[in-house]
A and B are shown apart, each in its own frame.
Chain A
Amino acid sequence: MAFDAPPSPERPPERGPSGQVVLSGQYQIHPGEPFPALNGKGVEAFRAIDLRFPAENFVALTCTGELLPRLETMSSLRGLSKAGTLALVAFGPVDWPDGRQRLAVIYTAPAAGRFALSTPLTPFQIVEGFLRPAAAALHDIHGRGAVHRSIRPDNLFQREGGATSLALGPCVATPPGYEQPPIYEPLECAAADPAGRGTGTPKHDIYALGMTAVAMLLGRHPGSEYDRDALMIRRLEHGSLRAVVERSQVPPELVDALVSMTTDDETDRWSVNDLQKWLNGGRPDLARQYELPKALSPYEIGGYQVRSARSLGYMLARRPTEAPTHLRGDALSMWLRDYAPERTAQAMLDHAMLERPADTEGGDYDAIQTAHAVLALDPEGPVRYRGVAVDPHGLGPLMVDALNDPDRRTAVTGIVRYGLLQRALDRRLSERRGSSRKANRQAINFERLKRWIVSPLPWEGYERCLYDINLNLPCLSPMTGGRWVSGVSDLITALDQVALGGAVKEPTFDPHLAAFIGARFDTPGDALLSLMKPNEADDDATLGAIRMFAELQQTYGSPPLRGIAQWCGNLAARIAGRIHHRPSRQKVMATIEQAIPSGSVATILKAIDRPGLRQRDEQGFALCKSEYTRIAQEIRAIERNTETRRAGAQHRGRDNAALIASTGSIIAAFLTLMLDSGR
C-alpha cells in the first residue's frame, strides 16, 4: 500500500500562529505545527498532544467556520476506538491565537499520510486490509446512530506504524459527503452540490465502501477517464458499477460483494451486517443484477447524448440556460414519447410543466419550469434550481455554504420559496420517506421555512431558516466577538464580554443574532426588533427584550452578567425616561443604577416592570395636565376680569355700607340715649 509522506513529528515550528491552545484542559494543540495530510476546505489540521501522556500523538482538526461541521456525529463517535477508524477523542471550541475561537476535533494521529491510489491491490489486500476493518468500524459507527459519509481512497490512513490494514479517516469537520468525489456518492445524491448531499443513511457508506474497493482494484479513481457529465450519464444509464468497470475486470471472489455494495437500488444494497456476513463466509442475499433499459435513439443536449429520462433530467439541470428552449420545443417531448425507456416520463413532464407556484416572480418562471421538469424526469435525484442542486435533507449545510455567495443564496431562497423540496419528497418512493408522521413533520418544517424565507421582518428571512434547520450552527454574527457560540448560554456569555468591552453601548443586533435567538429561544418578534432597532422600539417591545435577557440569565443558572446588565440598564433607562412623574422616574432610575453592578437583569426588570406603573403614571399625568390647563384658564380669567371684579366689589361695598350703617344705627341710638341722658 502506498501513502503520502507522513509529517515529521519533530518538525520545528513554522511561521504562522504561535502560542499554545488547550482543549478541555487536556489536549494541547500546536498552531505552529501543521498536519497537512488532514487539511481540507474549511479545515486546518495541527499536531496535538495529550498533556497527561505527551508521548502519544494526536492531530487536531480545526474548523475555520466556512463550513458547518457535524457536531452530532462528533458526539456519537467520541471515544469509538476501532482498528478500522481513526479515533475521535475530544472536541470543543478553543481560543485561537488570532483572538477568535475555533471548533477543534482531536483524533489519534495516523502513522502515515493519506492512502494513495497507485498500483492496484489484490483482492486479499482489499478484503483483509480494508473491507474487514472498515466493516467492523462501520458496524459500531452505525450502531451509534451515525453515518460516516467520507469513505474514499484518500481518506484512509495507517493507524499505527507497520499496520497492514487501513483505517477510515475523519468525517466530522465538514458536511456529510462534502469532500466526496461524485463517484463515491450514490446516484440519488451524486448530482447534488457537495454541501447539499444530506446526512444519508448507512447504505450510503456501504456504497462508498464498495466503490473505494473498486478504486483499489483499479489503482485509480473509478471513472476518472470520463468527465463529470459523461460519467454521470453513464451511471444513470448503465448503473454505477457498470459505468466504471467491466464485469471482466472484477475478480470473481469480489464480484458479489462489489455488485451488492454498489447497486443503485438502495433497498437492494447490502447493509453492514450483510457485508460482515459475507466477510465471515456467509451468503447474504445478493443484489439483483439487471440491464437498465435505454432508448434506441439518443437525445442530444449540451454536447452529450442521453438515452433515458433520468439522464435527460440530469443534463437539463446542468444546462440551465439551454433547458427552457428544449422544454418548449417539440423535439424533447417527441423523444420522450417515442424513445424514452420510462413510459410515464412524457406524461409526468407534461403535468409538471403545467404547474406553477402562485407567487412566481416573472424572472423565475423558466427556472421553476426547468426544476419541475428535472424532478419529473428524475424524481429520485436532488432538487436542481438555477445551478444549485440539493437533496431535501441536505438543505441545512447548503444554506451555510451559500450564505456569502449572493447568486447561490438567491437560488437557495428560490428552492425554499417555491416549495421544490417538498415537491421532491412527494415524488420519491414512499419507503424512502419513512413513516407518514415523519413526512408530516417534514412538510410542516418546509412550510415554516418557506414562510420565513420570504418574510420582510428583519429577524426572519434567510438567517432564521439557517439557524432553525441547523441546530448546531454557531451564531455567525460579528457581535459574538469571534467566539464559537453554539447555544444560547454561550451567546449570552459572548454578548456579555462584548458589552463589557464598552465599544457597543446598546444592543444593536444584526439579523444573524436576532435569528439565532429567535431560533434557539422562543422570543417574541417585537422584542427582537427592539434589540435590532432600539431607537424605533416602543416600551412594550423594549421591556420584552429585557425580559428575554432576564429569562436567558435565569435559564442558564443566573450567572452575573454585568455587561448585559449595563445594556439592559440603558434600555430600561429609555423606558424610565418616559415616566412622566419625576420623583417616580428618579426612583426607578436610581434602582436601575443600583442593579447594574450586580449583573442581575431580573433586578433591572423588576425595577422597570412594575404592575400598573405605566397606567398610573399616564392617568396621573392626564389628570395633572388637565389641572394645569384649568389653573391657567383660571389665572387668565382673574387677570382679565380685574375691572369687572372691582366694579362688583364696589357695588357690594355700597350694599355692605347700607347694612353696616343699619346695624350701626342700633349702636348709634344706644349711644345717643346714653350720652344725651347723661348730659
Chain B
Amino acid sequence: MKAIKARMTTAQVAANGRAALTLIGIGLIIVVAASSFSYLVFAAAALMPTIGAAIMERRGQRQMAISVGALTLATVIPLVIGAIATGSQRNLLGSSTAWTFVGLAAAAGFAIYFLMPVANVWIDDMRSQARLRALRERQQQLEKDWGPEVAGRPTAAG
C-alpha cells in the first residue's frame, strides 16, 4: 500500500512538475511578450535548433534537445533579460552579437551531443582493453605459478 502510494506520489510529482514548468514557461512568454514582441520572436527563432533537435530525436529521447536547448537557453535568457533590463531598446533580432552567442551555444550543444558518445565509446574501449590485458597477465602468472594444469591442460612430458 505504501509502495503503491509512493508510486502514485512520484507520478503526481512528475505531473505537477511538468505543470509547474508549463506555467512558468507561459509566465515567461507573457512577460517577454509584454516587454517586446520582437524579443519573443528572437527567443522563438533562437530555439528553432532545439525544436529541430527535438523533432529529429526518437520518441522518448531528449538528450539532443536538452544538450542544444540548455546551452541555447543559457544564452537567450541572459540576452533577453539583459535587453529588457535596459528598457527594451535593444534590437536583438538585428544583433549579430546576439545571434553569434545563440549560434555558438546551439553549435556547442550539437557538438557535445555528437562527440560525447564517441568519447564514451573510446574510453570504454580503453578500459576494456586494459581489463583484458590485466586478466591475461593474471592468467599467465597463474600458469607460471601452478603449471598448465591450472588451465586444464596436461603437464608437458619429461
- Chain A positions within 8 Å of B, measured between CB atoms, are 580-583, 620-621, 624-625, 627-629, 631-632, 634-635, 638-639, 642, 645-646, 648-658, 660-662, 664-669, 672-673, 675-677, 679
Contacts and interface: CB of A to CB of B under 8 A. Distances in A.
Interface in B108-148: 108-109, 112-113, 115-121, 123-125, 128, 131-132, 135-136, 138-139, 142-147
Given A650-B120, A676-B82, A645 B75 contact: no
Contacts of A677: 82
B79 to A, nearest CB: 6
Contacts of B151: 628, 632
By secondary structure, the A interface counts as helix
Given A658-B63, A676-B101, 18 more contacts: A581-B146, A621-B146, A627-B142, A628-B139, A638-B128, A639-B132, A648-B124, A649-B123, A649-B124, A649-B125, A653-B120, A657-B112, A658-B62, A664-B112, A665-B70, A665-B71, A668-B108, A672-B75
Interface string B3-34: 00000000000000000000000000000000
Nearest to B144: A582
Nearest to B76: A672
A662 to B, nearest CB: 5
B77 interface: yes
A624 B112 contact: no
Given A583-B145, A634-B135, A668-B74, A649 B117 contact: yes
B105 interface: yes
Contacts of B54: none
24 contacts: A580-B150, A581-B146, A582-B147, A625-B150, A631-B142, A632-B151, A635-B136, A638-B128, A638-B135, A645-B128, A646-B124, A650-B120, A650-B121, A651-B117, A653-B116, A657-B117, A661-B66, A664-B70, A665-B70, A669-B75, A672-B105, A676-B82, A677-B82, A679-B97
Contact of B67 (A582, A620, A657, A672): A657
Q: Which residue of A583, A621, A656, A666 has the most chain B CB atoms within 10 A of its CB atom? A: A656
Nearest to B109: A661
Nearest to A666: B74
- Chain B binding surface, main DSSP class: helix
Interface string B56-97: 000001111011101101110111001000000000000001
A638 B70 contact: no
A627 B142 CA distance: 9
A628 B145 CA distance: 12
A649 B120 contact: yes
A661 B67 contact: yes
A631 B138 CA distance: 8
B87 to A, nearest CB: 15
A651 B131 CA distance: 21
A669 B80 CA distance: 12
A624 B142 contact: yes
A675 B105 CA distance: 14
A629 to B, nearest CB: 8
Interface hub of B75, B79, B152 (most chain A Cβ within 10 A): B75
A625 B146 CA distance: 9
A259 to B, nearest CB: 82
B78 A652 contact: no
Nearest to A580: B146
A646 B125 contact: yes
B75 A660 contact: no
B135 A656 contact: no
4 nearest A-B pairs in the assembled complex, by CB-CB distance: A653-B117, A653-B120, A665-B74, A657-B116
B39 to A, nearest CB: 14
A498 B131 CA distance: 59
B74 A669 contact: yes
B16 to A, nearest CB: 21
Contacts of A582: 144-147
A654 B121 contact: no
The interface centre, meaning the residue of B62, B68, B105, B144 with most chain A CB atoms within 10 A of its CB, is B105
B75 A668 contact: yes
Contact of B116 (A660, A666, A667): A660
A221 B76 CA distance: 148
B147 A580 contact: yes
Given A638-B132, A649-B120, A655-B63, A661 B78 contact: no
B146 A624 contact: yes
B113 A657 contact: yes
Nearest to B90: A676
Given A580-B149, A657-B117, A676 B67 contact: no
A632 B143 CA distance: 13
Contacts of A646: 121, 124-125
B74 A672 contact: yes
A570 to B, nearest CB: 16
A645 B124 contact: yes
A156 to B, nearest CB: 70
Most chain-A Cβ atoms within 10 A of its Cβ — which of B70, B138, B149? Answer: B70
Nearest to A669: B74
A657 B63 contact: yes
Contacts of B120: 649-650, 652-653, 656
B150 A665 contact: no
B68 to A, nearest CB: 7
Nearest to B123: A649
A664 B71 contact: yes
Nearest to B121: A649
Given A652-B120, A672-B101, A631 B74 contact: no
Contacts of B63: 654-655, 657-658
A38 B62 CA distance: 122
A658 B66 contact: yes
A676 B78 CA distance: 9
A679 B79 CA distance: 12
A456 to B, nearest CB: 33
Contacts of A632: 139, 151
A588 to B, nearest CB: 15
Nearest to A655: B63
Contact of A654 (B70, B77, B116): B116
Contacts of A581: 145-146
A657 B118 CA distance: 11
B89 to A, nearest CB: 14
A635 B79 contact: no
Nearest to B62: A658
A639 B145 CA distance: 26
Contacts of A661: 66-68, 70-71, 108-109, 112-113
A631 B79 contact: no
Nearest to A668: B74
B146 A676 contact: no
A673 B98 CA distance: 11
Given A631-B138, A652-B120, A662 B66 contact: yes
